[in-house]
Amino acid sequence: MEFVFEKYHGNGNDYLVFDTKKFEYELQGSQIREICDRHFGVGSDGILMGPYEKEDGIYVRIFNPDGSEAEKSGNGISIFAQFLKDHKYVTEDVITINTLGGPIEIHYINDKNGTLNVAMGKVSYMSDEIPVTGESREVIEEAMEFQGQKVITTCLTIGNPHCVIIRDELVKKEVKSLGKIIESDEHFPNKINVQFMQVLNREEIVIEIYERGAGYTLSSGSSSCAAANVAYKLGLTDRKVKVHMPGGTVEVEIEEDGMTFMTSHVKRIGKIITADVFIEEL
């Protein structure tokens, strides 16, 4: 049986979309890992499975390349929204997509060039919501120890967990090495996405990302929103900021009530058809 995947990317953060309306099949963890492998499979930062029709509307499942299921993904949702429009599953200019991390409202700004505005929700710094071990508290500029190294961290959730570390300068080697340690540290029962952030001015920040279940990543929508919220919370930026990443830039705006919006740009790469034997052997 051949399977068809649609491949998109948002600032270098690439996903495969598996259309469950055309294929009534549930990919398993081992299959997802092999498909996402950049040497032995198709290669991607994750797989989006849907659309599922439920009582509360359209639902998508988001999988990391290690086979684990993610609650939310800014780029993933943007890509899936563009996929829905491209394949005429939706015709409206405003839609809601339900995820494991809650419903997300998407506004199509220009569906011809893949520009969307995504309502990512409100953040929480409460440890039991992120989660972070220890007594219930807001995890803001807290010193944590990772393999003997003390690091000042601010942790939060925007439907999925994040740990933001501020640096005067970003060093990719540190992002990859320390990020990997922090991602699965015992402080974080469900693991965590890690962002290293440099503040350029009141309107711009730079981040590099070690993503939970994916590793070093060129860009991330939810990471952008998490870092922007931390920068604003600590008084380092205004409510509207440009978030620069190795793969590109997104704009994040935090409203007075805390609702966070992200303007993203996604691009369709093409269609991929797997060989019969590839899936059957997994």
Give tens-digit pLDDT for 22-37. Answer: 988 888 888 999 999 9
d(C-alpha 154, C-alpha 230), whole Å: 7
For the chain, the average pLDDT equals 95
pLDDT score of 170 more than 60: yes
The verdict on whether residue 127 carries a ligand-binding annotation is no
| Domain parsing of the chain, residue ranges | 4-120+266-280, 142-258
Nearest residue to 104 via CA among 148, 72, 64: 72
What is the residue type of 270? G
SS3 18: strand
Binding residue per annotation — 211? yes
Give the pLDDT of residue 25. Answer: 83
Tell me the percentage of the chain whose pLDDT exceeds 70. Answer: 98
220 among the known binding-site residues? no
In tens, the pLDDT along 95-114 reads 999 999 999 999 999 988 99
At 210, list the tokens: 């070690």
User: Rounded mean pLDDT of 230-240?
Assistant: 98
Residue 113 annotated as lining a ligand binding site: no
**Distance between CA 154 and CA 210 in Å, rounded?**
15
Cα radius of gyration (the chain): 18
The stretch 113-135 carries a mean pLDDT of 97
**Would you say the C-alpha torsion 151, 168, 170, 174 has a positive or negative sign?**
negative
Is residue 272 left, alpha or beta, with left meaning phi > 0 and alpha meaning psi from -120 to 50?
Answer: beta
74 marked among binding-site residues: yes
Residues written for the chain = 282
CA-nearest of 80, 97, 94 to 19 is 80
Determine contact, residues 185/177, Cβ cutoff 8 Å: no
4-120+266-280 shares its CATH topology with 142-258: yes
Residue type, 30: S
Spatial distance between the Cα atoms of 239 and 255, rounded to a whole number of angstroms: 7
Q: Nearest Cα to 150, choosing from 182, 124, 125, 194?
A: 182
Check the annotation: does 223 bind a ligand.
no
Is 248 annotated among the ligand-binding residues?
Answer: no
Q: DSSP 3-state helix, strand, coil percentages of the chain (rounded to 5)?
A: 20, 45, 40
pLDDT confidence tier of residue 280, bands split at 50, 70 and 90: low
- Check the annotation: does 76 bind a ligand: no
What is the DSSP-derived secondary structure letter of residue 32?
H
- The answer to whether the bond into 131 is cis (omega within 30° of 0) is yes
193 is in an annotated binding site: yes
Average pLDDT over residues 215-232: 97
Q: Is the pLDDT of residue 265 over 60?
A: yes
Query: Considering the entire predicted model, what is its pTM?
Result: 0.92
Residues 6+ apart with CB under 8 A from 95: 58, 81, 84, 105, 106, 108
Centre a 10 Å sphere on the Cβ of residue 77 and count the other Cβ atoms it contains: 30
> Where does the pLDDT of residue 279 fall: very low under 50, low under 70, confident under 90, or very high at 90 and above?
low
**Over residues 158-164, mean pLDDT:** 97
Instruction: Identify the pLDDT of residue 282.
Output: 54
For residue range 209-221, list pLDDT tens digits in order.
999 999 999 999 9
- 276 confidence band (pLDDT: 50, 70, 90): confident
Query: With bands split at pLDDT 50, 70 and 90, how would you rate the model's confidence at 76?
Result: very high
Per-residue confidence band for 13, with pLDDT thresholds at 50, 70 and 90? very high
- In the prediction, which pLDDT does 277 show? 62
Cβ atoms of 223 and 212 closer than 8 Å = no
The CATH fold of domain 4-120+266-280: Diaminopimelate Epimerase; Chain A, domain 1 (3.10.310)
Fold of the domain built from segment(s) 142-258:
Diaminopimelate Epimerase; Chain A, domain 1 (3.10.310)
Q: Which of 190, 182, 121 is nearest to 153 (CA)?
A: 182
Residue 143, number of CB atoms within 10 A of its CB: 8
Separation between Cα atoms, residue 54 and residue 50, nearest integer Å: 11
pLDDT score of 3? 85
Q: Is 201 annotated among the ligand-binding residues? A: no
